[in-house]
């Protein structure tokens, strides 16, 4: 992987680059995402609110930067409700030209360090489409296990269905 890639927490000045990154990823890999590029209608205000939300004690937003451009990101959120706040969910996206170079591994390692160092976090969870074999293999390599599945979770425009896989890792 290029040594010029850095991973850090997102800041409000990243907002335009984050929007641009999401647009690229949605165009490249819509079949792995929860919405299409057409459905993504970002506003600066909405994305700023998301960044600020993840800067507090219930979450984190990481960005991977290459030559001052956001090329990958990971968001992790925990519920505020006490019975569930020990568990958080993450989502991750990487632009295709930067995949298969260890960037997903680096982003997840940063999340796992964050989660392990926070005594309130016991479990890190995710949902991934079953056909995203590359992502599932990465999660398994990092110790995530399958907890369950959601058959017929996503319906495609051609009438076919995609199954969702639920995975998690205990970090305490």
Structure tokens, 86: 């020990």
**pLDDT higher than 70, residue 161:** yes
Query: What 3-state class would DSSP assign to 171?
Result: coil
Q: With CA atoms as reference, report the closest residue to 99 among 134, 129, 62.
A: 134
User: For all residues of the chain together, what is the average pLDDT?
Assistant: 91
- Are 47 and 15 in contact by the 8 Å Cβ rule? The answer is yes
Query: What 3-state class would DSSP assign to 22?
Result: helix
For residues 1 and 33, which has the higher predicted lDDT (pLDDT)? 33
Percent of the chain with pLDDT over 90: 74
Structure tokens, 159: 């009438």
For residues 62 and 31, which has the higher predicted lDDT (pLDDT)? 62
**pLDDT higher than 80, residue 18:** yes
Q: Once rounded to an integer, what is the mean pLDDT over residues 37-50?
A: 84
Name the pTM for this structure.
Answer: 0.90
């Amino acid at each position: 992987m290029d040594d010029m890639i850095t991973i850090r927490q997102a800041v409000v000045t990243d907002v335009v680059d984050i929007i641009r990154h999401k647009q690229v990823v949605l165009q490249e890999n819509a079949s792995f995402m929860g919405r299409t590029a057409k459905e993504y209608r970002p506003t600066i205000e909405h994305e700023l609110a998301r960044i600020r939300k993840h800067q507090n004690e219930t979450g984190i937003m990481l960005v991977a930067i290459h030559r001052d451009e956001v090329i990958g990101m990971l968001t992790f959120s925990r519920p505020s409700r006490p019975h569930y706040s020990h568990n958080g969910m993450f989502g991750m996206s990487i632009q295709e030209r930067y995949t298969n170079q260890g960037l997903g591994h680096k982003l997840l390692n940063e999340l796992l360090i964050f989660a392990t160092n926070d005594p309130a976090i016991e479990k890190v969870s995710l949902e991934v489409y079953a056909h995203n074999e590359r992502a599932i293999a990465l999660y398994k390599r990092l110790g995530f296990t399958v907890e369950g599945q959601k058959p017929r979770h996503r319906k495609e425009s051609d009438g076919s269905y995609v199954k969702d896989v639920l995975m998690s890792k205990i970090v305490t």
